């Protein structure tokens, strides 16, 4: 009897999709080695990612040039024009700015506005900096006072969660996902993990006692019915864990019916409201990926 050939790691369609998202170079290599994707699909996906890389490079170069020009203007004493350039690039392309330039860029903008009695604008840019976790330090006493005020106001804003704990989301998943802390989202903790088979990823955002958002992403390989059934059950467990007030006794029925409804229609997603929570399923048909998210309304 001939021994069944061992499946190569790059022939795991779900793993390829995950790698394309989290580690592009390896993902592209795996994509072209994978026999389940057609050549046309491979070419389209590669072109999309290549365009994204080119666009990112151009944006970063433009941001670098703008910041360099603004720095020269600032140092020559033309602060008005310099600050306008800083503001333009912050508003249009903040993610393309070198992280090493962000603190000084925000510092100059905010202190300039405070000095010119534009506290409302300075406050706006303080909030923008905080949203992107940019460390702020000012030589201006007034700017530091405004920073303290914004920080205090943010503490007073009530945290909005989905009234579900981290452990509740992870119920029956502890052996499936090895969750690790990753990059924060707007100051909130984020945890993510991928199933050992590579087909499903789980993400949890927020305070562990009351998370603000939970998402499960999984593939539905058309050539592997056993995996489809397993992934469907994972989504059903996820929905049951996060929506305790779910009105249907069988969450698997809701999952399969919703998948069928979306696939047979022109829409890509469906959302339903349960109390203060919104449950959304989105299907990306071109890559066979399903995303289910629970977040506050």
The mean pLDDT of the chain is: 85
Q: What is the pLDDT of residues 171-204, one digit of tens each?
A: 888 888 889 988 888 778 899 999 888 889 999 9
DSSP 8-state secondary structure symbol assigned to residue 268: S
> Is the CATH code 1.25.40.10 the one for domain 54-156?
yes
Burial annotation 242-276 (CB, 10 A radius, 16+ → b, else e) = bbeebeeeebbebbbebbeebeeeeeeebeeebee
Please report the DSSP string for 25-72 in residue order: HHHHHHHHH-SSS-HHHHHHHHHHHHHHHHHHHHHHHHHHHHHHHHHH
* Ramachandran area for residue 163 (φ above 0: left; ψ -120 to 50: alpha; else beta): left
Q: How much is the average pLDDT of 253-278? A: 86
In the chain, domain spans: 54-156, 166-296
Q: What is the pLDDT of residues 140-166, one digit of tens each?
A: 999 999 999 988 887 655 567 888 899
Beta strand ranges found along 134-267 (DSSP E): 180-185, 188-194, 200-207, 210-219
Q: How much is the average pLDDT of 12-21? A: 73
Nearest to 279 by CA among 232, 233, 247: 247
Which residue has 């024009």 as its token pair?
81
């Amino acid at each position: 009897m001939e021994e069944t050939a061992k499946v190569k790691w790059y022939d795991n369609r779900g793993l390829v999709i995950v790698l394309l998202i989290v580690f592009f170079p390896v993902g592209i290599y795996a994509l072209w080695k994978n026999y389940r994707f057609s050549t046309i699909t491979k070419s389209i996906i590669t072109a999309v990612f290549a365009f994204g890389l080119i666009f990112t490079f151009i944006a970063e170069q433009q941001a670098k040039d703008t910041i360099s020009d603004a720095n020269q203007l600032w140092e020559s004493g033309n602060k008005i024009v310099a600050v306008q350039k800083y503001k333009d690039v912050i508003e249009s392309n903040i993610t393309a700015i070198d992280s090493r330039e962000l603190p000084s860029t925000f510092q100059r903008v905010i202190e300039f506005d405070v000095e010119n009695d534009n506290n409302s604008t300075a406050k706006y840019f303080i909030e923008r900096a905080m949203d992107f976790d940019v460390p702020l330090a000012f030589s201006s006493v007034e700017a530091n006072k405004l920073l303290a005020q914004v920080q205090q106001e943010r503490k007073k804003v009530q945290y909005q969660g989905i009234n579900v704990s981290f452990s509740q989301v992870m119920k029956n998943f502890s052996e499936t996902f090895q969750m690790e802390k990753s990059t924060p989202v707007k100051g909130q903790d984020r945890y993510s993990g991928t199933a050992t088979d590579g087909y499903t990823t789980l993400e949890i955002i927020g305070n562990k006692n009351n998370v603000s958002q939970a998402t499960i992403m999984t593939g539905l390989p058309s050539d592997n019915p056993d995996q489809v059934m397993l992934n469907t059950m994972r989504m059903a467990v996820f929905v049951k864990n996060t929506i305790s007030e779910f009105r249907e006794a069988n969450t698997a029925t809701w999952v399969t019916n919703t998948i069928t409804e979306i696939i047979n229609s022109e829409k890509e997603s469906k959302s339903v409201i349960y109390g203060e929570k919104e449950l959304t399923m989105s299907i990306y048909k071109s890559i066979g990926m399903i995303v289910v998210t629970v977040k506050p309304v």
